[in-house]
Amino acid sequence: MNSTTSLPLHQGGITPISALHPDIFQSHILALLDGPSLASLACVSSQLHALSTHDILWFNICSSTWPSLNHPRLQQIISTFPSRHRSFFSDSFPFPDLQPLKLDVNSCTLPTELIFAVDVYYQNQIIYSKVEELDTSSSWFLCSPFRVDLLDPKDSASTPVRYLGGSQDEAWLQHLEENLSLSWIVINPTRKKAVNVSSRRAVSVQRHWLTGDVQVRFGTVTAGDEGRGSSRELVECGVVVTCCGKEGGEMHVREVCMVMEDMEGKGLNGKDSLVILEGVIEQGRRKGGEGNEGKVKFEEFQERKRGRKEENQRKERVLDLVCITVGVVGFVSFWSAILFK
């Protein structure tokens, strides 16, 4: 790694970066970069690494990327991370890779508290933000179905988005799929680690069969805590954003919730969900999650769910046929024994 980096002058000469005042370089150059670009620049030389690791740069990047982080409790927690906001960005910007859990399910220590930092965007502009703290230590939570609701059923959050529908309904649903995005960061304050479990872009958009509200689904498919062929070989961490409104009026966010489901569509309880989330947080290798990768994995997961359901139905039909055959044979044998006695 080079210790000195030079920049060309307008006259064609070369001058080292050290000739520029660090404050000028940070405020006029580094402050204009996004997180991935700043991280890449830090790898160029030791001098650029020293300039690029100032916490104020990463604080501004994190705050602009995820407005929910301006919550005082989160700022206090992030200050305890090894490299503060730079560590948090490193944990939360990429998305989990589909790798087998490296966690010993039987001996792992489950967190007693999780914090969720959630931001919903429309055309990259924030329209809803919430920080939710969850006590995960109670026996009631561990045994109950895992579900995190950010809004009370009677409440809704207004947005500046104009709600369409009616004759434009199909185009409106497609528009929401392309323009709504979500970040759902799970933070373990004890381990000082975080992970983003959202697919960032929507994986499906549809209307609720009863209410007609629009349900925008985001999700991450990850390895489960059981072996190949089991119902928890893969697990989906799904987030549903439910939107409603009158045509031409404001769009309201009525529900933002997260659940975890296995390959049979069954919801996981609190304890099993904590094991999965803790394993995802502990994963050392992550991917950028660009493009439609989240949607592709979601569709593959749904296809495997359908295949598993069809296989179970075939087994049930075979079992039913065997039971009917045994019953008929038993019935015929019984009456044959009586009639020909």
pLDDT value of residue 304? 85
pLDDT value of residue 7? 47
Per-residue pLDDT tens listing for the chain (341 residues): 444 454 454 445 555 666 666 777 777 788 889 988 998 888 888 888 888 889 999 999 999 999 999 999 999 999 999 999 999 999 998 766 555 555 555 567 889 999 999 999 999 999 999 999 999 999 999 999 999 999 998 899 999 999 987 778 899 999 999 999 999 999 999 999 999 999 889 999 999 999 999 999 998 888 776 667 777 888 999 999 999 998 889 999 999 999 999 988 899 999 999 988 988 888 754 555 555 778 888 888 888 888 888 888 888 999 999 999 999 988 888 888 887 76
Q: How many CB atoms lie within 10 A of CB 133?
A: 13
| Angle, in degrees to the nearest 10, between helices 85-92 and 55-65 | 40
Calculate the CA 53 to chain-centre distance. 27
Identify the three-state secondary structure at position 83. coil
pLDDT value of residue 106? 59
Look at phi and psi of residue 78 and say left if phi exceeds 0, alpha if psi is from -120 to 50, else beta.
alpha
Nearest Cα residue to 283 out of 217, 212, 194: 194
CA–CA separation, 276 and 273 (whole Å): 5
Residue 9: phi and psi, rounded to 5, are -90, 165
> Are residues 45 and 5 in contact, defined by beta-carbon separation less than 8 angstroms?
yes
> Are residues 188 and 114 in contact, defined by beta-carbon separation less than 8 angstroms?
yes
What pTM value is reported for the model? 0.85
Residue 73: phi and psi, rounded to 5, are -65, -40
Give the CB-side neighbour count of residue 81, counting CA atoms within 13 A: 24
User: Hey, what amino acid is at 202?
Assistant: A
pLDDT value of residue 268? 94
CA–CA separation, 199 and 235 (whole Å): 14
> Are residues 144 and 170 in contact, defined by beta-carbon separation less than 8 angstroms?
no
CA–CA separation, 211 and 207 (whole Å): 8
> Can you give the residue ranges of every domain in the chain?
6-78, 93-306
> Are residues 30 and 38 in contact, defined by beta-carbon separation less than 8 angstroms?
yes
User: Hey, what amino acid is at 255?
Assistant: E
